[in-house]
């Protein structure tokens, strides 16, 4: 089954404790990205990757890191989480060009 | 930059037709998407318009006018399961590697009996 898999689905952590949210896709998509979704603000892009070893900042990259060592995986790293990073996070992937994006199930992160 | 406007909420009756509007301002327009998102779940693709006109897909249709910066999503024969948020999103070949989706804040549709 074609899918984007994120883990964990839910996470509560404390300020400053490094964490990684994993994302994996099995559709051989070149393009992957991370979004956060906050009430009243909609989905905003954090980082994106056009292919292996090619990543760039989206609209709200501060406090986040990513890597793309393999085509299928695109982890999101929070080196020192803060409460303002409490949000619902989605990973998405698609083929190159303006094509349909497939989203992961979401990760609800709470930083206390 | 890009700016997208959608109504925040709409209510409609089961079996009826509802039109959800989206207006936008952008440079480097490449295409307009509609996604459906149930509460707490992932957005799922509904439709994509790159040229002016109407795209029909079962109970869902989407219209685009690039000259007016306007799109709408038309839902027919509404069902209770259509209660969800509907997201209008633009792609722009100039930014984000061409695949970047810029989303509106979404229209929360409530279908009532």
Cα–Cα distance between B94 and B77 in angstroms, integer? 38
pLDDT tens by residue, B35-94: 999 998 999 999 999 999 999 999 999 999 999 999 999 999 999 999 999 999 998 766
Cα–Cα distance between B63 and B88 in angstroms, integer? 12
Question: Taking 80 as the threshold, does the pLDDT of residue B28 lie above it?
Answer: no
- For residue A65, give Cα distances in angstroms to A74, A103, A108, B39, B43: 10, 19, 18, 27, 23
The DSSP secondary-structure symbol of A71 reads T
Whole-number pLDDT of residue B85: 98
pLDDT tens by residue, A57-78: 999 999 999 999 999 999 999 9
Chain B: residue whose CA lies nearest to A90? B42
The DSSP code sequence of A85-103 is: G-EEEEEEEE-SSS---EE
Please give, rounded to a whole number of angstroms, the shortest distance from the CA of B15 to a CA of chain A: 28
Residue written as token pair 């318009």: B49
Task: Test A100 with B45 for CB contact under 8 angstroms.
Answer: yes
Whole-number pLDDT of residue B30: 79
- Better pLDDT: B97 or B86: B86
Please give, rounded to a whole number of angstroms, the shortest distance from the CA of A41 to a CA of chain B: 6
Chain B: residue whose CA lies nearest to A104? B42
How many beta carbons lie within 10 A of that of residue B28, not counting itself? 12
């Amino acid at each position: 089954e074609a899918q984007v898999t994120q883990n964990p689905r839910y996470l509560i952590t404390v300020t400053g404790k490094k964490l990684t949210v994993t994302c994996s896709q099995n559709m051989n998509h070149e393009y992957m990205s991370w979004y956060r979704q906050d009430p009243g603000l909609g989905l905003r892009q954090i980082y994106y990757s056009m292919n292996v070893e090619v990543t760039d900042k989206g609209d709200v990259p501060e406090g986040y890191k990513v890597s793309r060592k393999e085509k299928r995986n695109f982890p999101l790293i929070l080196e020192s989480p803060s409460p303002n990073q409490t949000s619902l996070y989605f990973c998405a992937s698609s083929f190159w060009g303006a094509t349909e994006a497939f989203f992961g199930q979401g990760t609800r992160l709470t930083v206390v | 930059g890009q700016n997208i406007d959608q109504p925040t909420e709409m209510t409609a009756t089961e079996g009826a037709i509802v039109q959800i509007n989206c207006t936008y301002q952008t440079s480097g327009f490449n295409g307009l998407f509609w996604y459906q998102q149930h509460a707490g779940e992932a957005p799922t693709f509904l439709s994509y318009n790159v040229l002016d006109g109407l795209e029909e897909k079962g109970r869902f249709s989407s219209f685009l006018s690039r000259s007016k910066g306007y799109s709408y999503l038309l839902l027919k024969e509404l069902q209770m399961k259509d209660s969800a948020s509907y997201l209008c999103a633009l792609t722009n070949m100039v930014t984000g590697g061409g695949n970047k989706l810029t989303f509106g804040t979404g229209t929360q549709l409530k279908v009532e009996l």
